[in-house]
Amino acid sequence: VRFPEDLEDENTTFNPEYSHQVFGDDEVAFGYKGLKILLYYIAGNLSTLFRIEYTSKVNEKFDCVEADDVESKIREIIPPGFCTNTDDFVSLLEKEVNFKPFGMLLHTYSVHNEEAGEDITYQIYKADMTCPGFREYHERLQTFLMWFIETASFIDVDDERWNYFLVFEKYNKDGATLFATVGYMTVYNYYVYPDKTRPRVSQMLILPPFQGEGHGAQLLETVHRYYMTSPTVLDITAEDPSENYVKLRDFVLVKLCQDLLCFSPGKLMQGFSQEMVMEAQQKLKINKQHTRRVYEILRLRATDMGDAEQSRSYRLDIKRRLIGPYKKKQRELAKMRRCLRPEELTNQLNQIDLNMQHEQLEESFQQLVSDYRRVLERLAQA
């Protein structure tokens, strides 16, 4: 909500992707007809208005059943201090002009907005719990995780090893410059013996109204650039990354690596090398596993897939890596041969059918190439 009229504007509304963490696996609130759970957030500081509306509710006296206590379920995840009536909320909205982003400005960029017909400015900040007011703001911000990340949980903000990176949009209201929350990322700094740290991305969320505009890539690249300058950082990883995050990371890392000397077309065609691993880690804080994916994507770009020899060489190179888990299974099988009875061995062999392995390998290869092509298409447009 930026203006009072946004309260009535359906265009500013977005619905949760998940609600099982609040309403159980069936995502059902029992006992209401026409139930609406309304949560409004002021665009910048995320002050909250919470209301529940419904046309009717089951009555314990007559129906002998009790309706779910929806209000207490929501109260469990939104911090106290929220508004319950519109007038209080609108009076807070008038003070929004005083809201300023927390922490240190790392990056400013602009995105062309077709609808508005102009470039809109965005800024990325790094904050921590010592910033005045940030703890309370973060409590409100993290409530979005419950609705948009499938296995979300709140973090321990008293642990000083957390870093917070925030994206804001700059906009004008009555001649003043205001800021709207776009999204954020939390990163935990793990200790690596003897004197390094390994930042691990824990949570990342771009709010639905801003998705598909490239903010995730801007945020991830900014975070990488922030840690790249630190001599104590070993490399950057992610905790249990989603499929979408992996695609985003592929794009950002390829964009960062494509100008490194070790990824020149001539060197790519010679195969994956230790030089790539070293340079990507030392200059860009990218680990070996992610460097290998970058190599595969950039080699695809350098390969003429219409040339039978180049195409075959590329396919074999990728499949050599993909076959790793299957080879592990075969080693396990060799062990089984020595200690299993014949009928037990037959049972295990049925599970490791070689033809099926080849089919799965080809399927994995085709899927990978398809994903890699999408990264290269996006790179070409960047």
> Does 136 participate in catalysis according to the annotation?
no
Copy the structure tokens of residue 206.
Answer: 């771009």
Output DSSP code: residue 85: S
**Distance of alpha carbon 59 from alpha carbon 261, whole angstroms:** 72
In the block, which residue shows the tokens 């290869």?
A: 365
* Catalytic site residue from 17, 53, 239, 377: 239
Q: Is 308 helix (H, G, I), strand (E, B) or coil?
A: helix
Angle between helices 215-228 and 274-284 (to 10 degrees): 90
**Distance of alpha carbon 207 from alpha carbon 184, whole angstroms:** 9
Any bridge partners for residue 330, and if so which? Answer: none
**Distance of alpha carbon 2 from alpha carbon 41, whole angstroms:** 9
Q: What phi and psi values does residue 8 have, to the nearest 5 degrees? A: -105, 0
How many C-beta atoms surround the C-beta of residue 247 within 10 A? 16
Q: Is 175 helix (H, G, I), strand (E, B) or coil?
A: coil
Cα separations in angstroms, 144 against 32, 38, 46, 187, 207: 24, 14, 11, 17, 8
How many C-beta atoms surround the C-beta of residue 105 within 10 A? 11
**Distance of alpha carbon 7 from alpha carbon 217, whole angstroms:** 30
DSSP for 202-233 reads: EEEEE-GGGTTSSHHHHHHHHHHHHHHT-TTB
Q: Which residues are tagged catalytic?
A: 239
